[in-house]
Structure 1
């Protein structure tokens, strides 16, 4: 074939398409009907069973609405289980808006420090360009969630409820991005005057960020009066608490005992090693975001054992693959697009990572698992997209989907085999800022 598309080549393609009756049949179908409805494998849908042998959830789902806060919703959903039990209430929510406020403020500082660190590089440097491309977003990682709670604590939702901007972050984010890019320009111009001059100006930028956040989200409380009625209508008052005191009293899980495991099957990413990604984080001087790369079967087994043992599991995945929203179902073979287009589309997980076909996009919570002969068959998932879809907001994931599209889970370090626990103490391999394993769940 020539470099350009010639009339001869175009005629060849048109004749090849017309020569197959199946192509015309699919054209007639897809031009009148959504392709997902055509490609949906009815055998998988009719065989879907949403029951599980081990079920933990007995609460209502939450709703992140038009925001990318899934990672913090999933983390707070994990923590609210123990808090509700201690409070003696049926349902409870920590303030997602409070965590959002502090994440935005800390992340603005983290971004500006990255600009200071890279201010000697050309603005077209790949790392600098990546930083400027998205100075601040809603997405995050497990370690970033833990860092926020360790520094700023938590409050109940009543102490800092949702606002229009926490539920729809787009306009606020646009203002913050413009502010931070302008700040990056000014900090780079001050590079010749030294870091001290840059940090003096950083204070002015952060004052403006604080103002924008407070206008959109409200002011995070420093102290609040905590009182409630339990499910038996009995009244309780815990008095005036700071956010760190409230977290210490009502977070029942030892967050510093958890580690983040990932499945990265690329040849460049050896199993049994830890990794970190440049400029990935939100709280300056917090422990870095570190992953331990393990085989998929271990990822599944530890997740299963945690749920069977009574504890939900935070996890990150590429959520939009092979997903049916109305059914609340994920399965690796849910859609047969190759049959519709009569062409191969699939790649293995490593190839998809290498060629930018996949990355982690969303975080949720495993709240149930169906175990058959000691192995997981399907998983029950608490999503943060409201109660309108699936089983009042709880979804079903067949195990085939877990292997293909789940990337990471947070589990207790004590659950690891000794050799992998020891590997966590080794210096991590540092991946560049643009590596797909640095993707943020939103």
Structure 2
């Protein structure tokens, strides 16, 4: 059955519109102010004041500028929070995001070549190949991907590899890299399908391609540090410290000192295809070939939130991934379901369950931030303090307030130290993961 819109239909729609007493008033308000401003509910300001019963000290907020490095900023922020407490570092201390950015893009190129060769026999219009070629690499990532980078390359302070134009504004370098990777995919697929190239020939071609990628990245970001001096003054007494000729791996071991295997990903995905208390990974998703696998333990929301609360109570901030744009007011720093009243403004029903939004593409994880506080009333969370990476000119000097019901609907992932997991959850987390399709929403890069 097909349905074409007739003139009678349009006449009926016009009549319904004209018969509504508030149509003209709302039309003037929305056309003048826009949908978001016209639907904004000022009650969300008073309902989400920035005071929390648990509130960690975390220093200044970083700024990812015009780049998609939120996952990287959020992860490095959780580490610097710990470092600031251990070594009395100043509030403006940061770990180098540019250093990780360089190696992430370099490793993603190699990971892409790996997947090109794995799928070389498939038709170019197959869903897997089309998915691969849609975005050969991007700025985004997930927690396990950063762990893979750190385990291989370590970390450096921002003074050892500062920001560049291209790390702050990544659109141009992404255009070039994706152009090159698609160009190289054509060559590799031809070598496999038409030239019957040997593994040695493919490896030689791949090495040449990676050498060119390295050169592009070095021009764009500068070469990453191999040795450096770490100098700083303590926050309280201004005492000078200098640690000379460190490697990135030595710096991570000495100043961060985390066992990254202790930190695991917990997801909240209530879709029918993902049973709770099972682990999942995503096909063709990663950055370091042979590095740490992406792995998620799926839990109900009450268990998910309790783990975040326990870690905050323990004095550790929490990396988390969410759909940040939904019902979020950036300038005021509010993430709450009552921020915008679209249903009431348009007199329509836009409500969907979390599972429905994931299944039908209405929502997915697109941004990573850090939980640094929570407000507990009678032991239950009412709102959460969020450290963003958009600088200090938004929200409350860069910090946001997230209502608890917003977390229920739009928060999908947290990273938790294993010491906060029960024996039962530890056994569940150790399960062999079920492999999801490459385009599964839990594979979205923050």
1:278-307 CA deviation, whole Å, 9 max, x = no partner? 111010011210100000011111101111
2:289 maps to which of 276, 279, 284: 284
Tell me what 1:170 maps to.
171
Tell me what 2:319 maps to.
314
Tell me what 1:75 maps to.
75
Aligned-pair CA distance for 1:121: 0.3
2:227 maps to which of 223, 230, 233: 223
1:31-56 CA deviation, whole Å, 9 max, x = no partner? 11122122112222233321001111
Runs (5+) with no aligned partner, structure 1: none
1:401-420 CA deviation, whole Å, 9 max, x = no partner? 11000000000123222222
1:175-203 CA deviation, whole Å, 9 max, x = no partner? 00000000011000011324332222111
2:388 maps to which of 370, 383, 386: 383
How far, CA to CA, are the matches of 1:221 and 1:150 in structure 2?
Answer: 16
1:434 maps to which of 436, 439, 445: 439
| SS of match in other structure, 2:207 | helix
Aligned-pair CA distance for 1:133: 0.5
Query: Conserved in 2, the CA contact under 8 Å of 1:79 and 1:252?
Result: no
TM-score by length of 1: 0.97
Aligned-pair CA distance for 1:342: 1.0
How far, CA to CA, are the matches of 1:240 and 1:176 in structure 2?
Answer: 32
Tell me what 2:31 maps to.
31
Summarize the alignment of residues 120-139 of structure 1 with structure 2, pairs less than 5 Å apart.
120-139=121-140
Residue 208 of structure 2 is aligned to residue 207 of structure 1? no
Tell me what 2:260 maps to.
255
Query: Conserved in 2, the CA contact under 8 Å of 1:116 and 1:198?
Result: no
Residue 58 of structure 2 is aligned to residue 62 of structure 1? no
Residue 363 of structure 2 is aligned to residue 362 of structure 1? no
TM-score by length of 2: 0.96
How far, CA to CA, are the matches of 2:380 and 2:407 in structure 1?
Answer: 13
Measured at CA, do residues 417 and 205 of structure 1 come closer, stay the same or move farther in structure 2, by a change above 3 Å?
same
How far, CA to CA, are the matches of 1:359 and 1:134 in structure 2?
Answer: 17
How far, CA to CA, are the matches of 2:202 and 2:252 in structure 1?
Answer: 35
Query: Conserved in 1, the CA contact under 8 Å of 2:147 and 2:292?
Result: no
Aligned-pair CA distance for 1:237: 2.1
1:86-130 CA deviation, whole Å, 9 max, x = no partner? 333222111110010000001110011000111010011101101
Residue 148 of structure 2 is aligned to residue 150 of structure 1? no
Measured at CA, do residues 21 and 119 of structure 1 come closer, stay the same or move farther in structure 2, by a change above 3 Å?
same
RMSD: 1.3
| SS of match in other structure, 2:125 | coil
Aligned-pair CA distance for 1:400: 0.9
How far, CA to CA, are the matches of 1:78 and 1:339 in structure 2?
Answer: 39
Measured at CA, do residues 238 and 391 of structure 1 come closer, stay the same or move farther in structure 2, by a change above 3 Å?
same
How far, CA to CA, are the matches of 2:325 and 2:208 in structure 1?
Answer: 40
How far, CA to CA, are the matches of 2:326 and 2:62 in structure 1?
Answer: 22
Tell me what 1:407 maps to.
412
How far, CA to CA, are the matches of 2:125 and 2:58 in structure 1?
Answer: 51
Query: Conserved in 1, the CA contact under 8 Å of 2:99 and 2:156?
Result: yes
Aligned-pair CA distance for 1:58: 4.1
| SS of match in other structure, 2:22 | helix
Residue 95 of structure 2 is aligned to residue 94 of structure 1? yes
Query: Conserved in 1, the CA contact under 8 Å of 2:48 and 2:383?
Result: no
Runs (5+) with no aligned partner, structure 2: none
| SS of match in other structure, 1:371 | strand
Aligned-pair CA distance for 1:229: 2.6
Q: How many residues align?
A: 441
How far, CA to CA, are the matches of 1:93 and 1:261 in structure 2?
Answer: 26
